[in-house]
């Protein structure tokens, strides 16, 4: 059987990242061949990065002609096809599957082939997540236009959390209105938590179905997840990714009435709204003008962490707020798991690279039986999952290099027969 190509596509508001995988059959793990990314769509000039076979081919090349997600996809496809040393992809028809990370999937519980009906349903869901789904839907259109024989598959960041029980996902509001409008907790970062659960279970030599984790996906968007027997039973994000932990530009949880005291124009459309995407001033302020940026002037948490250690007052406050909110979820989820916890897991850019953040969080939850090893924490290594906890501690502390692109490709390969177009 000849190898087939899967593209894992992650389209945000300002970037498009594509990872290229090959697979032979549903029983074989996909092999990654290349990564290509265009960033800076909202702050031109856009820049291109391209790596193949473990080596950098193009680094931060400025592209003046690329200004939209459609432009980015066309440029990415042309770059791959015109790389004569990359023989796996020489024509658009060589791509069997394009996997699209869609943040908000509503009631979709599994990967879904995108046809006309599915696409219109996802468009309707964009009203729940106008700042998060639009980029993915633009790329679906672009792939369909340029690669008409490719099967487009939606992978939903909310699907992993379909197992959250009713008491945890239900808001205390009128339930007739809630059901009619889909107003409940959905949760996000699900592709990451699926990858974390599988790989941490393997590292712990346990079946995923018997693994209990408190998992932290910490990046510019941050969340926590409570995993019991391999399934999500609670998570910090809610109806949208705004709920829960603060992020680079997100407020995280605030008193719902705060925004009406912050501005008298909360319900008005923001200047960034379009005829297809309605964003209120409240959504704009709490999603794009809050978080660490509002506190410190920067979205770079590495800089914030360093300056906090040097005594910068606002950076220290931002660092301490983040730690405070994280440990609140760790404590809550520890109780939900009745103390039966296999590991506390750090993942995401900050979770994987932030040794000071990990140390501060683990120190605060030391009363629960978590302890960190200073040496391991400073140099955790390059494995997918590593222990940074102290030997003999009651519970393990792990760092997982999560990979949402690989998770999409892996799930796609396993379910290829069901997902393939008839």
Question: Which residues are catalytically annotated?
Answer: 157
CA angle 357, 205, 26 (to 5 degrees): 100
CA distance 159 to 144: 24
Helix (H, G, I), strand (E, B) or coil at 251: coil
CA distance 399 to 347: 6
Sole residue written with tokens 């059987």: 1
Helix (H, G, I), strand (E, B) or coil at 236: coil
Query: Using an 8 Å Cβ cutoff, are 79 and 20 in contact?
Result: no
Query: Using an 8 Å Cβ cutoff, are 152 and 73 in contact?
Result: no
Helix (H, G, I), strand (E, B) or coil at 181: helix
Tokens for 97, please give them.
């599957």
DSSP state, residue 270? P
Q: Is 216 exposed, middle or buried (0-12, 13-18, 19+ CB in 10 A)?
A: buried
Whole-angstrom Cα Rg for the chain: 21
Tokens for 238, please give them.
């809610």
Could you tell me whether strands 151-156 and 95-102 are parallel, antiparallel, or unpaired per DSSP bridges? parallel
């Amino acid at each position: 059987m000849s190898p087939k190509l899967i593209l894992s596509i992650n389209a945000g508001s300002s970037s498009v990242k594509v990872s290229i995988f090959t697979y032979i059959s549903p029983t074989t793990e996909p092999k990654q061949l290349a990564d290509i990314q265009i960033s800076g769509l909202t702050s031109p000039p856009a820049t291109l990065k391209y790596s193949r076979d473990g080596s950098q081919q193009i680094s931060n090349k400025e592209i003046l002609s690329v200004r939209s997600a459609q432009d980015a996809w066309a440029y990415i496809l042309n770059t791959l096809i015109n790389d004569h040393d990359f023989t796996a992809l020489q024509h658009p028809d060589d791509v069997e599957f394009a996997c699209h990370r869609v943040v908000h999937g509503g009631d979709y519980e599994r990967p879904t082939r995108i046809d006309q009906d599915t696409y219109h349903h996802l468009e309707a869901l964009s009203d729940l997540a106008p700042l998060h789904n639009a980029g993915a839907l633009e790329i679906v259109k672009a792939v369909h236009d340029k690669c008409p024989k490719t099967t487009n598959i939606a992978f939903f960041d909310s699907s992993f959390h379909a197992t959250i029980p009713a008491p945890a996902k239900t808001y205390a509001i009128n339930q007739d209105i809630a059901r009619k409008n889909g107003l409940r907790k959905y949760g996000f970062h699900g592709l990451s938590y699926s990858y974390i659960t599988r790989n941490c279970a393997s590292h712990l030599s346990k079946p995923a179905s018997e693994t209990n984790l408190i998992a932290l996906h910490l990046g510019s968007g941050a969340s926590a997840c409570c995993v019991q027997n391999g399934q999500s039973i609670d998570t910090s994000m809610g109806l949208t990714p705004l709920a829960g932990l603060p992020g680079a530009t997100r407020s995280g949880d605030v008193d719902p009435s705060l925004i009406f005291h912050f501005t008298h124009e909360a319900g008005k459309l923001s200047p960034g709204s379009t005829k297809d995407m309605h964003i209120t001033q409240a959504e704009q302020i709490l999603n794009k003008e809050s978080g660490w940026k509002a506190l410190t002037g920067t979205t770079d948490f590495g800089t914030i962490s360093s300056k906090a250690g040097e005594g910068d007052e606002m950076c220290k406050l931002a660092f301490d707020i983040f730690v405070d909110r994280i440990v609140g979820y760790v404590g809550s989820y520890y109780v939900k798991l009745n103390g039966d916890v296999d590991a506390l897991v750090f993942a995401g850019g900050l979770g994987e690279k932030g040794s000071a953040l990990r140390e501060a969080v683990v120190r605060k939850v030391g009363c629960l039986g978590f302890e960190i090893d200073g040496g391991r924490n400073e140099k955790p290594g390059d494995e997918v999952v590593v222990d940074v906890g102290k030997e003999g501690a009651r519970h393990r502390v792990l760092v997982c290099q999560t990979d949402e692109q690989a998770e999409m490709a892996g799930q796609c390969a396993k379910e290829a027969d069901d997902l393939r177009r008839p």
